[in-house]
Amino acid sequence: MTWYDFACKYVDLKWRDAAATYRRSIAEALTTATVAMLPPDIGKPFTDKAIRLALRSWAFNCGRRNVAPPPRTGQVLDWIARNTLPVADLEDLTTIRCVLDALASRLDGTAAAATVFNRKRMVLSNALDYAVELELLNENLVGKVKRNAPKARTTVDRRSVVNPSQARELLTAVTKIQRSGPRLTAFFAVMYFAALRPEEAVNLRKTNLSLPRAGWGELHLAEATPDAGKQWTDSGKARDERQLKHRAKGDTRTVPCPPELTALLHNHLENHGTDPQGRLFWGERGGELDSSTYGRVWAKARQLAFGADLASSSALARRPYDLRHAAVSTWLNGGVPATQVAEWAGHSVAVLLRVYAKCLDGQDDTARRRVEAALRQG
């Protein structure tokens, strides 16, 4: 069996039960691997861009593969199907190394980000396990290739974490960004005050709110809608309706709503209401809120709050997701037990402490004082 035929078979195996974002990751990894599985001395009658586009957008997308592609794309795929190496060649360590080197490189030849390489390597290894299951390979040799894999950052960069004063300054700046800023202020606020992920905030509905007129309330989260791209979802919408991250389908998570956020949510409901589906936040033309929309608002708000020079050079709250990091860091620094923070944030305790270890302000000073006290005792 050729690598191309096997890769399509693997996509078919995974497609039905995979989240849309994972479908996209599979396609990206297999596209890179397939280009590497073309004979090294073969003359390519098509550009690399055309080859990769045909693979990612058609061959490795079950929603499209059974639909006739544009004529040029069809020619590209026919050529790839005829020319990829046999799967059996992956029993040679040299071939495996060649594929892994491709996964570790960007199109311009520079090193890929560690997270990108690790994600693609995981897909490749899982695919080769399936090849072993089909008896196309005797063994998955990915783990036997010794190479200096790039190191992935596993902790939050404390330079990106805003303090409460900076967070409020940013939220004030959001209110001044036209047209979408005023109705997205509460969107960013739920990420900062309640540590919601963007895909959770996008899907927040009035039915998820349990709010008194003033004071502490609660947010009851049930689903998330990550932005995967409409070509990867079954619904044809850009966002994929999924269970909460790290939770089984049907599981919920309750997060406390501080008085300041309670007031902001009441203000949002009074001034902007909800869309017909009950969502608090939606796109400029209705429908689901696109990540590009709130991304543009956030970029403008950072410039307004920090100034153009600092906004472009600083890592401080560069992404909306950094508001969630700030929320979790604030809870930990405030002395909330790690088990409770993990429950609110939707993490395991082990992941929480590993990811946020460097964001615990004051821990160094405390440790030094303890060392001084121990030395005095001696």
SS3 assignment, position 217:
strand
Mean pLDDT of the chain: 92
The span from the CA of 313 to the CA of 350, in Å, is 32
- Identify the domain boundary among 313, 348, 369: 313
Domain harbouring 195, CATH code: 1.10.443.10
pLDDT at 370 over 80: no
Please check whether residues 197 and 306 belong to one and the same domain: yes
Please check whether residues 77 and 212 belong to one and the same domain: no
Please check whether residues 232 and 182 belong to one and the same domain: yes
CA dihedral 365, 152, 353, 204 (to 10 degrees): 120
Please check whether residues 296 and 172 belong to one and the same domain: yes
- Enter the tokens of residue 57: 């957008």
pLDDT at 378 over 60: no
**pLDDT > 70: percent of the chain:** 95
Q: Is residue 332 part of a domain?
A: no
Q: Is residue 228 part of a domain?
A: yes
Segment 21-38 shows an average pLDDT of 97
**pLDDT > 90: percent of the chain:** 73
Q: Are 68 and 74 in contact (CB under 8 A)?
A: yes
Residue 376 vs residue 261, higher pLDDT = 261
Q: Tell me the pLDDT tens digit for each residue of 147-162.
A: 776 666 668 888 899 9
Q: What is the pTM of this model?
A: 0.85
The span from the CA of 204 to the CA of 187, in Å, is 9
pLDDT at 9 over 80: yes
- Identify the domain boundary among 83, 111, 144: 144
Counting every residue, how long is the chain?
378
Please check whether residues 131 and 182 belong to one and the same domain: no
Q: Tell me the pLDDT tens digit for each residue of 284-343.
A: 888 899 999 999 999 999 999 999 999 999 999 999 999 999 999 999 888 899 999 999
Paired residues of 205 in beta bridges: 279
Give the range of the structural domain holding residue 271, as residue numbers without chain letter.
164-313
Query: Which pLDDT band, with edges at 50, 70 and 90, does 369 fall under?
Result: confident
Q: Is residue 126 part of a domain?
A: yes
- Identify the domain boundary among 313, 329, 362: 313
